[in-house]
Structure 1
């Protein structure tokens, strides 16, 4: 499992390999220059603060680095750069019974497999987006990589499955013990609020192949 320190190590290594400081890397990716400052890697109460998937995607795009390269940096350069087979599940399949267990992990085997750089989550899967409710961030046919074991925090893009069988990709606005608040990616669709009893599971989107 990828650790908090591993991700920050990968960011620092990527910056150094491109001849940049952490601040310079943030600037090149058109992020706030303080985004990757060491002072921002922990909260004031001592909890680890994770960089967002969006900020990681931006630095990869800005530097031309691949996800495999970034993953290798996260492992201290010890990763083999190999691939893992992960299930590719359609949105309609994701909403049907029998494709996920109670923890939101894919089960069974009635799906295709796709190759993806090793990310340390044996339960990771690819989800094919359908419809236009998630535009302009995710379009029909885009593939997102979902990591059920990853920690989820405010501002993350997530996949949510309701007890009614609806599956959606949203941004997490707020989560409490009793309520889940979601921001719609498409401005033409309303934000949503679910009670804890209405939600089956929530999983973090790690990557999008667009």
Structure 2
């Protein structure tokens, strides 16, 4: 597992601990633990004192904590120009199983050229839209480019990957911050909005482009 915060979350879950219980065991504020689990991709993104607390809570040494992080080197199969990988499909409708769809793994079954795309994020990825909840702006079959590094503001369209609390699903919606929760709103009002606790979100990546092929 490449994402350090996700690894911490998984180990906490294996111990049967809630975020609040594990934070208390670590001597951390619950909000600090939530931020680590949700946003920290690597150990060096966390303060040294926080890393010591996490190691204590897990019952391991500080060095063992760092070794939990196993970075993934992106592979660009059949793509010598290192384009933006198209990594399958995302549902503009009900969330779909993330692992089953093999999304967001850096390996594409097709690639979009970065030349002239205006996308600078080296970790950008693309997905093909299914469903109709984001019509008329995004229709079934559209290819959209997502940037994990881009700042997300209320009303932005985002690719959302959920934790195991929501069956590791993913979806495409507009996002609005609601304190400890987010509201995910479809453009097509025939579909209902979703209210989701932030702790159930592993990653949100902002949609920064829609790619069109002219044959």
Aligned equivalents of 1:95 and 1:126: distance in 2?
14
2:130 aligns to what SS in structure 1? coil
1:150, CA displacement in angstroms?
Answer: 0.5
TM-score, scaled to structure 2: 0.50
Instruction: Confirm or deny: 8 A CA contact 2:83 2:112 kept in the other structure.
Output: yes
- After superposition, the CA RMSD in angstroms is 2.5
Instruction: Confirm or deny: 8 A CA contact 2:106 2:125 kept in the other structure.
Output: no
Aligned equivalents of 2:82 and 2:106: distance in 1?
17
The structure having more radius of gyration, on CA atoms, is: 2
1:96 aligns to what SS in structure 2? helix
After superposition, the Cα gap between the structure-2 partners of 1:122 and 1:195, relative to the gap in structure 1 and judged at 3 Å, is same
After superposition, the Cα gap between the structure-2 partners of 1:209 and 1:114, relative to the gap in structure 1 and judged at 3 Å, is closer
Which residue of the other structure, out of 183, 196, 199, is the alignment partner of 2:198?
Answer: 196
User: Equivalent residue for 1:143?
Assistant: 143
Structure 2: segments with no counterpart, 5+ residues: 1-80, 91-95
1:193, CA displacement in angstroms?
Answer: 0.6
Q: Which runs of 4+ in 1 moved over 4 A?
A: 97-100
User: Equivalent residue for 1:127?
Assistant: 127
Structure 1: segments with no counterpart, 5+ residues: 1-82, 101-105
Aligned equivalents of 1:199 and 1:181: distance in 2?
12
| Cα-to-partner distance string for 1:60-101 (whole Å, 9 max, x where unaligned) | xxxxxxxxxxxxxxxxxxxxxxx860100222698126946x
After superposition, the Cα gap between the structure-2 partners of 1:175 and 1:153, relative to the gap in structure 1 and judged at 3 Å, is farther
Equivalenced residue count is 122
